[in-house]
Structure 1
Amino acid sequence: MNRLALPLLAAATLFAGLAQADEKTTVYKSKGASGETVYSQLEVSGSQRHQIGINEPDEAAAKEGAPAKTPAQIACERAQANLAVLNSPQKVTFDRDGDGEPDVMTDEERAANKEAAQRQVTAYCEPVADGG
């Protein structure tokens, strides 16, 4: 696996998992050996501590009077949207090295992120009932 794909995969998995958090979660931001930004739930030397929490109700639903979406529903929608982009023929760009310039995702990075997105869809989306 491409060594840059692993931090991307870890960050995507970490942030999708945080969508289910009911309380604040501590994450640590640091720089990897190649200068890439790394997020982890484990503290490493030189890392910065951040508190992350997603307890706010869905603003659009709150304005319309509809019931707010659960964190799992939000995570499911985001995972499905990510998977749709990764399955599309369009180029996917992201800031690989933190220089503020978008870089095109390689085939290896795309494959690793597709696998992560599929695991997130499986984890967060309820199976569709097979009733007719």
Structure 2
Amino acid sequence: MNRIVLIATLALAPASALLAAEDKVTVYKTTTEDGVNVYSQTELEGSQARQVSGDTGEAPPAGEQAPAKSPVEQACEKARANYELLSSDKRLQRDKDGDGVMEEYTAEERAAETDIARRQMQAYCAQEPES
């Protein structure tokens, strides 16, 4: 179940930035076997597409400078960084069961996360990732 939460976090991090910039965004909702709802901008098997409005109606604070990069560029950079980290030989760990002890990624988990990052790069970046 923690893997689902990580997947949702990775998928929604760039999605939240995009929601603020675009009028309509397609979001895919999938419910896992555990009953957990997963939202993503990348279509997953068995997902339902929904159009959501990204306009918050809020003006930026006075005197604050606009970001130099667009939300799509930021999402692309984050996806690339995730892909590079997951594709590296670095040892990766996370708390899989919520007990406060970090467990190392298995080869299967790492491959699945790498595939998600690759698909995010395809969705947000103009150029395809190298395999």
| Offset of residue 15 of structure 1 | 2.6
Match of 1:20 in 2: 18
How do residues 53-68 of structure 1 correspond to structure 2 at under 5 angstroms?
62=65, 68=68
Q: Does 1:117 align with 2:117?
A: yes
1:62-100 Cα offsets, whole Å, 9 max, x none, are 5xxx96211111111110000000010111112212233
C-alpha distance in 2, partners of 1:106/1:123? 26
Match of 1:104 in 2: 104
CA RMSD of aligned residues (A): 3.1
Q: Give me the identity figure in percent.
A: 38
Structure 1: which 5+ runs fail to align? Answer: 24-31, 42-52
How high is the TM-score relative to the length of structure 2?
A: 0.57
User: Higher RCO, 1 or 2 (CA under 8 Å, sep at least 6)?
Assistant: 1
Whether the 8 Å contact between 1:73 and 1:124 is mirrored in structure 2 is yes
Amino acid at match of 2:119: R
Number of paired residues? 94
Structure 2: which 5+ runs fail to align? Answer: 22-32, 40-55
Match of 1:28 in 2: none
Match of 1:89 in 2: 89
When structure 1 is superposed on structure 2, of 12-21 and 75-84 the one drifting more is: 12-21
1:5-42 Cα offsets, whole Å, 9 max, x none, are 4443333223332231117xxxxxxxx95xxxx6645x
